Every structure is written in structure tokens, then in C-alpha cells.
Amino acid sequence: MEDNQQKQMLEASEGKQHKRKEEEPGLHTGDNRNNTKKKFTFSFWYFIIVFILIIIFNNLFFSSRLNEAISIDYSQFKEYISSGKIVQVAFDGDQYIGFGFTKKDAANAARTLQEIAVTKQIPSSIDTSMISAYQTYRIEDPTFVPLLDQMGVEYYATEPAKPSILSYLISALGPIIIFFIFYAWLSKKMTGGAQGVMSFNQNKSKLVAETDTGIRFADVAGEDEAKAELVEVVDFLKNPEKYTEMGAHIPKGVLLVGPPGTGKTLLAKAVAGEAGVPFFRMSGADFVEMFVGVGAARVRDLFKQAKEKSPCIIFIDEVDAIGRKRSDAAIGGNDEREQTLNQLLVEMDGFDSRTGVIILGATNRAEVLDPALLRPGRFDRQVLVDKPDLDGREAILKIHTKGMKLDGGVNLRKIAQSSAGLAGADLANICNEAALQAVRLRHDSITQQDFEEAIEKSIAGLQRKSRVLDEKERIRVAYHETGHALTAYLTPGSSPVSKISIIPRGYGALGYTLQYPTEDRFLLSESELLSSVDVLLGGRAAEETIFGDISTGASNDISRASDTVRQMITEYGMSEKFRNMTLPKTNSGIDGVSGGREYSEATQQYIDNETERIMQSRYSHVLENLKAHKEALEAIAKALLEKEVLEGSEFEALAKQFAVK
């Protein structure tokens, strides 16, 4: 009965252990016995421990039982012989060893030594001089042996000492052990770790457990459409039977396409975190090195590991590093990159989508990818991860400010409006800069002004109050920035002015004018493009209105204005002669590098003349407009010189007072 109870308890315990292993996160059904076996690894400490044990064994069983002999001079040694203190002499190599007892007394001496070894005390009845030994170095003295005969001293030559077991081991095994240690060290350097000499054929992917990603879809905002596309991938990894029963196949590859900083890597981590599967993360540049064939070997190794860990996710960041279009030209090709791409194409065709291995790729240059990589069966689903809109930016700000101590007056909606065109990474940086600004100024909480300063720092650069401008330059900068702001105010459809400043920022900005749109715009009309050109030319027109000449401060303004006008003619079809035509550039055929033009020299002459005509026309219009509102220009510039910074509300009040639209 007791045996049956013990058997039942043992089976129940084994059942609990088996259940606990099945429930452990990160483990999946399959034959993992090879992974659970403990691998023996050589450690240098094993050798040290064995060496110490050998020394102890040698000292215990092969050390001399006699006390250590007392070293004396040769003359004193002869004197002890003459006085009878030494009655036995052993010739031991190049030494003489003298004893105070004869061989007849050896048995008594042995018993005495044994008693001393056991009791650790010398009996008082024993003559300690009798058990003493003396040694001296041998000297060629012809009178020494006659002296021994004369005194009746027993003398003999000892057998050469046999080497101990330690000596045998050192002489026999020493070279072998040294060679083994050197071989183990060299093997580790050649094959172990990512930095080894011969490890270039191993992949450098990082396996991240489900509990280590720490990212869920709730941590990603502003990309609702992209998340909706990826929810299906997560559902397949969690419930593959639902799709296989219907005969559906999940896409093998999902390509995340979007500008830098929009959250492509974050979305990939969120997919792995939601699905709770292993996550292989690797950069496209990690596949290619100086050795030809290394990239292909790493691709094979990566997919081999992924199949063993399935279901799992392979994330290849910057996939354009290996997926660039293969060149047909005799020159300009890259054999190593093309071999790596070919191997990736083969591997993506070589596994079944039902295995649960899903590849996520990320790139911001989808136009340079090879068409074979984008065909159905490979990266057959492309998910656009674009810059967020107004609502998306507000949601992203809420996520990044969740753990921050915000002031009650912080308006995240206004901050989102002020950060139009910024990606999620930029917004995260703005939140962090605002927190640092609050700490730097010793605020109790993060204020709206801290966020505004962070946005200006991100857009225009760091304030450079140490740069002291000459008074004439300071006045010119004030009129220049006022010209931008006043032109924006007088131009219909232009974005409202948020701030004007004559405090230098960044590398070359001596002042700046900020305009924040009230809503996101995706299309611009011809009149709106010309309005933006007018605002850019307002700074130089203000200088000419007040001072009668112009300066180099408008170099960046006229460059941007010229580019806008040239794009209107060549790309947007907004010229009089080529009203609904584009005038494209050709490509050289090598990685899409821009080459010559696809139009004649006469057309190029027309583009140049038309650009010059439009620029002069818009500049004349802005100049006349500012001259008509010279009083407002001077009043706003004087206020700006006095305060150095004018908020949008202050500027608008002055503009309404002196200017009439």
C-alpha cells in the first residue's frame, strides 16, 4: 500500500514538472532534448585543482620522514666527527649528511620519530642531539675518509633519490597540458564568439525573449493603419489553425516602409511582444563583410536557427543594405551583396508559411529594392509607416509624457500643432529635451514654455546667447525677421506666425521666424506655393526697404525659394509653356544615381529664364507690399529689438494696429 502511494506521488510530481515546463514562457512544443542537455566545458580551474591535489598527495606519501638536516660548515662537520657527535655519515651526491646514531640504533630512532609525529612533542628522556642530522657540501679532502676510519664512524654512499610522482607527472604530462591549454585558447579565439578570427560565417542576430521586448501595440501611437495590418500577423502566430483550416496562407514577409524615426523597429518589437514568440533582430549590414560568401552563410545560419525556434519572427532592419537592385552593368556590381540577396531569396522560397517563421523587414528606401524581393511569396505585403498626423502626434506625446511631471497648463494639442512634419522619434526627443530644460531651470514641473523651447531647439538649434552681434547687424536682423513675419501676415493662406526671435541659434541662424500650421496639409495649390515663396523673400525685401541695400543673410531664403519655383516648373507642371508636363532627370543606371536631363538645351534655357522671371515678379510684389506698410515694419522691428523675442499674439496685435490686409 505504501509502495503504491509513493508511486502515485512520484507520478504526480513528474506530471507537475511536465506541466510547468509546458507553461514556461518562451518554450514551445517540440524536441528540445538536445537543448536541455548539459554541455561539458573545460575550465582552467579544473587543472589548478588537480595540480594542488597532486602536490598534497606527493607531500603526504613521498616526503622524507626525517627532520630537516641542519646546514653547517665543513670544518664544523669534521669537528663533530672528531668529538663523536656524528657517528654515521652518508655520502649523498655532493653533500655529506651526518647522524648522531648508528644503524644499530635505527630502530630506536624510528620509534622515537613515530612517537614525535603522533604526540607532536619530544619526550624528555630522549637525547635530542641523537636524532639531529647535519649536512655540509662535499669538499675534495684526502684526510676525510681516514678521519672516519680513525673515529670508527660508519659511512656509506646513498642510492640516488628517485623522482617523486610529481616530477614524473610534470616531465611526462607537462608539455601535453601546455599544448592542450594553448589549443583550447586558440580554438576559442578562432570559433568562439562574434569577435573570433574564424567566426565571420556565423550570423550576428540577437534572440530576444518575449519578456525582454517589453513593447506592445499600446506603446505605439500615430500608426493605426500599420497596426491594423500587423494584427493579422499576430493572430496567425497565436492561432495558426484558424487560417490553415480555411486554406489561407499568411504572408511570409512583411516590409515596413517609411521615413526614419517613424517607428518601424518599434512596430516589429510590438508584433513580437504581442505574439509572445522569439524575436530575431538583425541589421542588413551585419550580413556583408569583406569575405565573399560570408553573407550567404549567415543567411543560411539565421534561417536554420529560426526554423528550430518556430514560431518566431525574423526582423531585418535596413534591408536595403542587402536587397538593393542587382546591377546589369559590367561595372558597379557587388558580388558579395548580390550573393547574399540570392541566398535570402532562396531561403524565403524554401520554407513553408505554415512553419510560423515570419520575416519583417524595414527600410526607408523601398524604391531601390530588387523587384524579386517584393514579388508575392517573399515580401508580398508592404506596410506604410508614415509620419503621424495631428491626432497621431498628440497620441505619441501622451505616451512619451506618461511618466513625466507636467504642469497643469501644458497643452499637448498645441504642442502637436507646433511639431508638424516631425516623426515619432523627434517627438520623443522633444519630450526628453523639455524635461531636461525643466531640471536645468529648476522648475517644479514641466511647463508649456519648456516644450516650446524644446521644439525650437529641435528645429532651429541651440540658443547662442554668447554670440554678440554688432548693433548694426542686430538692427538688420530684426528688420529681416520682421519682413518674413509681416509678409506672412499680409499673404492670404499663409500659416500664422508663432514666434519671432533675433537670438542666434544653431550654426548660422542669426534670427528666426516660426510659422505653425493650424492643420495638416497634404496638397498645396499653385497660389499657396507662390505664397511660401513670398514669405521667404520677405526678409531681403525688408532690408532693401529700410536700408536701401541687401546682405548675405537671405542666402538660405533665396535658395529655398528658387528650388520651390524650379519644382513648380519641372515637377508640378505649373509653367506657362509646359503647363501639364514634367521635365524629369535621367538615371545613370548605377544604383539610381541621377544623371543628365531628358529634355533639350532649349528647354533648360526656358527653365532658367522662367525661374528668374517668377522670382523677380514675386520679389517686386513683396517689396511693394512692405513699402506700403513701412510704418508697421518699423514698429514691429523696434518692439523686437527691445524684447528680442515676440510671441505670436504680441506680433499679431502690433500687425493689426499698424497694418491693413
pLDDT in tens, 198-224: 444 444 444 444 445 678 888 888 888
Per-residue model confidence as pLDDT tens digits over 575-597: 988 888 888 876 544 344 455 67
Is residue 36's pLDDT more than 50? no
Distance of CA 135 to the CA centre of its chain: 70
CA-wise closest residue to 228 among 277, 270, 279, 280: 270
Instruction: Identify the residue whose cell numbers are 628517485.
Output: 162
Phi, psi (deg, nearest 5) at residue 467:
-80, 110
Q: Which of 348-362, 459-473, 475-489 has the highest mean pLDDT?
A: 475-489
CA-wise closest residue to 345 among 362, 369, 367: 369
Q: Which of 66-75, 339-348, 550-559 has the highest mean pLDDT?
A: 550-559
Report helix, strand or coil for 636. Answer: helix
Residues 6+ apart with CB under 8 A from 63: none
Strands 70-71 and 279-283: unpaired
Question: Distance between CA 414 and CA 393 in Å, rounded?
Answer: 10
The CA dihedral of 595, 596, 598, 601, to the nearest 10 degrees, is: 170
Contact status, residue 81 vs residue 151, Cβ threshold 8 Å? yes
Q: Which amino acid is at 433?
A: E
Q: Positive or negative, the Cα torsion across 495, 501, 502, 504?
A: negative
Contact status, residue 235 vs residue 275, Cβ threshold 8 Å? no
Residues 6+ apart with CB under 8 A from 237: 275, 277, 311, 313, 356, 358
What pLDDT was estimated at residue 105? 67
Task: Place 325 in a pLDDT band, splitting at 50, 70 and 90.
Answer: confident
Q: Which amino acid is at 203?
A: N
DSSP class per residue in 454-489: HHHHHHH--B-TT-PPPHHHHHHHHHHHHHHHHHHH
pTM of the prediction? 0.61
Residues 6+ apart with CB under 8 A from 241: none
Contact status, residue 74 vs residue 114, Cβ threshold 8 Å? no
Question: Distance between CA 137 and CA 328 in Å, rounded?
Answer: 90
Active-site choice (394, 481, 544, 610): 481
The CA dihedral of 652, 658, 660, 661, to the nearest 10 degrees, is: -30
Is residue 475's pLDDT more than 80? yes
Instruction: Identify the residue whose cell numbers are 501611437.
Output: 221
CA-wise closest residue to 596 among 607, 583, 615: 583
- CA geometry: angle at 52 spanning 51 and 55, to 5°? 90
What pLDDT was estimated at residue 55? 61
Task: Place 167 in a pLDDT band, splitting at 50, 70 and 90.
Answer: low
**Residue 239 or residue 392, greater confidence:** 392
Q: Which amino acid is at 364?
A: N
What pLDDT was estimated at residue 332? 47
Q: Which of 294-303, 433-442, 586-595 has the highest mean pLDDT?
A: 433-442
Using only C-alpha atoms, the chain has a radius of gyration, in whole angstroms, of 44
Per-residue model confidence as pLDDT tens digits over 403-433: 899 998 899 998 988 888 888 899 999 999 9
Q: Is 644 among the residues known to form the active site?
A: no
Average pLDDT, the chain: 77
CA-wise closest residue to 153 among 96, 229, 201: 96
| Cell (9 digits) for 503 | 537670438
Is residue 263's pLDDT more than 80? yes
CA-wise closest residue to 86 among 139, 132, 122: 132
Is residue 5's pLDDT more than 70? no
Contact status, residue 465 vs residue 482, Cβ threshold 8 Å? no
Question: What is the pLDDT averaged over residues 344-353?
Answer: 75
Task: Place 49 in a pLDDT band, splitting at 50, 70 and 90.
Answer: low
Question: Distance between CA 538 and CA 648 in Å, rounded?
Answer: 17
**Residue 478 or residue 293, greater confidence:** 478
Query: Of all residues in the chain, what percent carry a pLDDT higher than 90?
Result: 22
Q: Positive or negative, the Cα torsion across 190, 195, 197, 201?
A: positive
Q: Positive or negative, the Cα torsion across 458, 481, 525, 418?
A: positive
Phi, psi (deg, nearest 5) at residue 569:
-80, -45
Instruction: Identify the residue whose cell numbers are 552593368.
Output: 329
The residues with which 95 forms a beta bridge, in sequence order, are 92, 137
Distance of CA 479 to the CA centre of its chain: 47
Is residue 182's pLDDT more than 60? yes
**Residue 19 or residue 202, greater confidence:** 202
Exposure of 486 in the CB half-sphere (CA atoms within 13 A): 37
What pLDDT was estimated at residue 35? 41
- C-alpha distances in Å from residue 82, one per residue of 77, 139, 142, 184, 224: 9, 17, 16, 62, 111
What pLDDT was estimated at residue 547? 93
What pLDDT was estimated at residue 33? 37
- C-alpha distances in Å from residue 222, one per residue of 275, 389, 543: 21, 7, 42
Is residue 265's pLDDT more than 60? yes
Asked if the bond preceding 311 is cis, omega within 30° of 0, the reply is yes
Q: List, in sequence order, the alpha helices (H) in 66-164.
A: 74-83, 106-119, 144-151
Task: Place 560 in a pLDDT band, splitting at 50, 70 and 90.
Answer: very high
**Residue 516 or residue 57, greater confidence:** 516
What pLDDT was estimated at residue 447? 93
What pLDDT was estimated at residue 162? 62
Task: Place 24 in a pLDDT band, splitting at 50, 70 and 90.
Answer: very low
360: enclosing H helix or E strand: strand 357-363
Question: Distance between CA 151 and CA 85 in Å, rounded?
Answer: 11
Question: What is the pLDDT averaged over residues 514-541?
Answer: 87
Q: Where are the beta strands (DSSP E) in 247-355?
A: 253-257, 279-283, 312-317
Question: Distance between CA 373 and CA 381 in Å, rounded?
Answer: 11
12: enclosing H helix or E strand: helix 2-23
What pLDDT was estimated at residue 482? 94
Question: Distance between CA 582 and CA 605 in Å, rounded?
Answer: 16
Phi, psi (deg, nearest 5) at residue 282:
-155, 145
Question: Distance between CA 214 and CA 231 in Å, rounded?
Answer: 17
Q: Which amino acid is at 93?
A: G
Task: Place 294 in a pLDDT band, splitting at 50, 70 and 90.
Answer: confident
Phi, psi (deg, nearest 5) at residue 385:
-115, 90
